[in-house]
Amino acid sequence: MSENLHSTEKISHGEDVEITVSLRRHAEKKQGSTLAETTSADMPLSQAGKEASDSLGEEVNAKGNAKVYYSPAGRTEETGKRIAAGQRDTPDIRLYHPRPRSTLHFRTYSSEEDDRKLAEQLHREGKSETDMVQMMLEMDDLSADISRSLAREILHVLDMSKKMRSHARVHMEFISHSGILENFLKDILKKEAADFIEKEMGGNRFNYLEDMKFTIHRINKKEAKIKFSFRGQEVDILENELRNLASTKKMESDNGTVKIVPKP
């Protein structure tokens, strides 16, 4: 009897799959002469930010190349591409091209003109970028829209895990901005918006390249566990909790973004 040279072993999917998603702030950016200039989408990375991104790229790709997605703004795009540049190029490891993702970009939720007016108002009042983010946290429609979109991103990864080869291990980097991260963090931790930056983020500065992490462990196609971790806190997240966030009603203005109106 001739020996069968073709393997008949069936490749299984959706069992013992682990995906980690780091939702990460961009690297250090340059500072402008005004708050509007500092917070503009065009403000690039500082030299320290470039070097930190390069170093992080080597670290996150050390065990396997990460899939990198970034907000399509200058500093987030550069951060993402510098992290992706740390991928290892070997015959055994697949190279992934970094890609933009509109849900990670603040322009998806508010207009550049509205943001500029708000920044100018706060600058006149002697306020900082953290004050600007805190004000946005307290805008219910804007906050709900951001959390809805990011919850859908995590659910997409969760559903994708069903189709991946069993025993796969994947790391993803989502590079975004201040304002996007804090809104989602508030809702994931089920915290009040009032004084969130002071109570939960440690005051008037942001930590560049800091991340919040989702770890999805798919046991089989019907069962998966989701853990969320941030600054030493670790909580179990139910799929239904994400689906509830993802189903919140989208609030839009005439141009498709949430209207931000500074006080006169």
* Banded pLDDT at 249 (limits 50, 70, 90): low
CA dist., res. 39 & res. 24, Å (int)? 17
When the candidates are 3.40.50.300, 3.40.50.1240, 3.40.1500.10, 3.40.630.10, the CATH number that belongs to 17-246 is: 3.40.50.1240
Residue 251 has pLDDT above 50, yes or no: no
- pLDDT tens-digit series, residues 122-131: 899 999 899 9
Of the candidate ranges 134-148, 153-167, 214-228, 233-247, the one whose mean pLDDT is the lowest: 134-148
pLDDT of 248: 67
Q: In this model, does residue 256 exceed pLDDT 60?
A: no
Per-residue confidence at 8, pLDDT binned at 50, 70, 90? low
| Predicted local confidence at residue 175, as pLDDT | 97
* CB environment 82-107: b (16+ within 10 A), e (fewer): bbbebbeeeeeeeebebeebebbbbe
CB 212 within 8 A of CB 25: no
Instruction: Provide the pLDDT for residue 10.
Output: 79
Q: Give the β-pairing of 67-70 and 99-100.
A: parallel
The C-alpha torsion from 229 through 233 and 236 to 241, rounded to 10°, is -80
Express each pLDDT in 78-121 by its tens digit. Answer: 999 999 999 988 887 889 999 999 999 887 888 888 888 888 99
CA-CA distance, 15 to 235, in Å (whole number)?
23
Predicted local confidence at residue 79, as pLDDT: 97
